[in-house]
Structure 1
Amino acid sequence: MIEIDGSQGEGGGQILRSSLSLSILTKQPIRIDNLRAKRRPPGLKAQHLAAVRAAAAISEAEVSGDALHSQSLTFAPKSCKAGEYTFPLETAGSSTLVFQTVALPLALTGEVSRLSFTGGTHNTQAPPLDFLERTYLPVLEKMGIRSRLEMKSAGFYPAGGGEWELELQGVERLNPVEFLERGPIAERRAVAYLANLSHHIGERELQQLQDRLNWSAEELAIEELPSRGPGNALVATLTVDSHQEVITGFGEKGVSSERVADAVADAIQQYQRAKVPVGIHLADQLLLPMALAGKGSFLTHDLTQHTKTNAKVIQKFLPVKIGFKKKGKKGTLVTIEANEIS
């Protein structure tokens, strides 16, 4: 049994999700203590519990400690089975993080899975569905995993209630990829998504973004999303040679539209100045599929604690070495390679 300290590094939910995925993929039982020790409150929240139960459903795992607020968990999987699954999340917690827990184990069965999700689709502390659709899933397709995603309705905090479906085509193995050069930004677009809110909110966000970045009116749009409750997300998509980067800001009570737009503009300018292909959110998500492929490399910003912690967890399960090397003032070269057998 592999024992994992949930308080290491960033001490959040990514340790849980990566450990569950890797436990299923390697068929190794795990015990995690100090779950989400650096979050307040610590322990499992509804979205983490949903990820545990989703992982157990696809692998017929024996589980203990799967309860709200639990800070210890044991998980012993059998074999992962492709199929049709529904993963409900009754709160506004992130359904995209539930997906990321089960996606690679299901894909590597080599068979087709059809998945239905409910819950949050646009959450401040998680990648939105737009990131999955435009960034993460296309990267997986480069590695051999084809998919088709359809959103039925959006889920914003606090109402939740989002619904989406995904068909995942399985593969036997992943193709190695690398992202080492960026080239110019070929296309850019920003959309202010609104659900049950005034268009004036989106107009202010886009005007501020235009004032900050000098984007044309043709690169800006407002779109209404069906949703159970009110919500707003400002989503910018930057297209480069290798992929698309998605940068998101969320409307919140007490936060002006201009401040939402400023945060997105700041992140866009940071990405442009860094001249690296991989943004900070994709950097974290690339580690596991590249490690499963046995090798890969990418150039990104300065590393987050999130990414460093994920690397440590992966190396507890897989015979790979994940290396980090500074490149220039703000860049980091990340390499994944198989450990040499002596």
Structure 2
Amino acid sequence: MITIDGSEGEGGGQIVRNACALSLITGEPFRITNVRGNRSKPGLMRQHVTAVEAASVIGNAECQGLSVGSSELIFSPGRVVPGEYHFAVGTAGSTGLVLQTILMPLVLADAPSRVVLEGGTHNMLAPPFEFIERTFLPIINRMGPMVSAKLIRHGFYPRGGGRIEVEITPAALNSIDCMDRGEQLGVAGQAVFTGLPFDIAERMLNRARLDLASWPEDAFAIRELPVDQGPGVILLLEARYANVTEVVSGFGQLGVPAERLAKTSAARMKGYIESTAFAGPYLADQVILPFVLASGGAFTTVKPSQHMLTAIDIARRFTGKTVRLERQDGGRHLVIMR
């Protein structure tokens, strides 16, 4: 049994999610102590419990310590069974992070699956649905499987209530190289809001427009959702390239001026555009699992985050594969799987 100290590395829920996915694929049981030991509220939260429950259901696993607040988890995997599944977080906890837990096991299964997830689709502690759909899943589909995701209903923090539907056609993961993003095809900025004054979204978008002055005027838009899908507001900044799309988001937060959120998001997008790396920090974190499971491949990224380094460490413990990091000119880093 693999033993993991959950306070090491980034010390959050990613350790739990990646360990569950890799356990189902490799057949290796694991034990995590000090679950989410680096967080202000350590232990399992509702979304982590749902993620482990989902992994247990699709993989016929036995689990000990699975409750909100638990600081120790023991997971013994069974056989992954593809099919139709429906999981509800019950809060605004991220549906995308639950999907991250079960996607790779179902991608490598022997038949298609359909997964419905209910909970948060847009909250500040996870990539929004648009990132999953436009940035992450296209990379998975280039590797062989076919995965499509549809947003049925937005679920903003703290209310939740969102719904996404995912169709998975499995296949072996082929190794690919993602070195350059290719030519830029377009940019877009959108403020999406519901149940809040219009001027909040307007001020957010105006600040982004000011900081991204080189973007065309018609690249910016405001979208209002039905009031029962909120309240909430998010700024989505998108840069499309021939080989990858980067999505940067800024979530509305109580007490934080809209302009400040937009300024931070625009600075992150400008930093990515000015670099030459293929993957931004969030994409680099999420593609570690599929690249390691493909037994090869490489990609370039910006400065490695603690999340990415932790994902590499967990993957190494379950698979024995090595991942090499090489710093390149211009602050770019090469990540090589072997």
Match of 2:98 in 1: 98
User: Which runs of structure 1 show a deviation greater than 4 angstroms over 4 or more consecutive aligned residues?
Assistant: none
How far apart in 1 are the matches of 2:221 and 2:230?
21
SS of 2:184's partner is: coil
Deviation, 1:164, is 1.4
Deviation, 1:127, is 0.9
Q: Does 1:50 align with 2:50?
A: yes
Match of 1:186 in 2: 185
Deviation digits for residues 274-302 of structure 1, max 9, x if unmatched?
22111010000111100110001111111
SS of 1:39's partner is: coil
Deviation digits for residues 246-293 of structure 1, max 9, x if unmatched?
100011111112112101110011112222111010000111100110
Pairing 1:212-251 to 2, within 5 Å after superposition = 212-214=211-213, 215-226=215-226, 227-251=228-252
SS of 2:287's partner is: helix
How far apart in 2 are the matches of 1:145 and 1:221?
33
Task: Name which of structure 1's ranges 223-232 and 123-132 shifts more when overlaid on structure 2.
Answer: 223-232
SS of 1:295's partner is: coil
Deviation digits for residues 210-249 of structure 1, max 9, x if unmatched?
1111122210111123454300110111111211111000
Q: Does 1:64 align with 2:64?
A: yes
SS of 2:42's partner is: coil
Deviation, 1:329, is 4.6
Kept in 2: contact 1:153–1:225 (CA 8 A): no
Match of 1:299 in 2: 300
Match of 2:317 in 1: 316
How far apart in 2 are the matches of 1:297 and 1:334?
5
Alignment TM-score, normalising by the size of structure 2:
0.97
Amino acid of the structure 2 residue aligned with 1:187: G
How far apart in 2 are the matches of 1:150 and 1:224?
19
SS of 1:32's partner is: strand
How far apart in 2 are the matches of 1:41 and 1:264?
26
Amino acid of the structure 2 residue aligned with 1:74: I
Match of 1:340 in 2: none
SS of 1:67's partner is: coil
Task: Name which of structure 1's ranges 223-232 and 236-245 shifts more when overlaid on structure 2.
Answer: 223-232
Q: Does 1:121 align with 2:121?
A: yes
Match of 1:201 in 2: 200
Deviation, 1:130, is 0.6
SS of 2:222's partner is: strand
Pairing 1:151-166 to 2, within 5 Å after superposition = 151-166=151-166
Match of 1:282 in 2: 283
Kept in 2: contact 1:297–1:335 (CA 8 A): yes
Identity rate, percent = 40
Amino acid of the structure 2 residue aligned with 1:255: V
Q: Does 1:211 align with 2:210?
A: yes
How far apart in 1 are the matches of 2:32 and 2:330?
36
Amino acid of the structure 1 residue aligned with 2:174: N
How far apart in 2 are the matches of 1:110 and 1:178?
26
Amino acid of the structure 2 residue aligned with 1:264: S
Structure 1's unaligned 5+ residue stretches are: 338-342
Deviation digits for residues 304-326 of structure 1, max 9, x if unmatched?
11111110000001131101111
How many residue pairs end up in the alignment?
Answer: 336
Structure 2's unaligned 5+ residue stretches are: none
Amino acid of the structure 1 residue aligned with 2:17: R
Residues 225 and 178 of structure 1, relative CA distance in 2, 3 Å threshold: farther
Deviation, 1:147, is 2.1
Kept in 2: contact 1:280–1:304 (CA 8 A): yes
How far apart in 2 are the matches of 1:85 and 1:182?
35
Task: Compute the RMSD of aligned alpha carbons.
Answer: 1.1
Kept in 2: contact 1:110–1:169 (CA 8 A): no
SS of 1:324's partner is: strand
How far apart in 2 are the matches of 1:30 and 1:50?
18
Kept in 1: contact 2:151–2:163 (CA 8 A): yes
How far apart in 2 are the matches of 1:141 and 1:159?
32
Match of 2:255 in 1: 254
How far apart in 2 are the matches of 1:129 and 1:111?
25
Task: Name which of structure 1's ranges 225-234 and 18-27 shifts more when overlaid on structure 2.
Answer: 225-234
How far apart in 2 are the matches of 1:175 and 1:199?
46
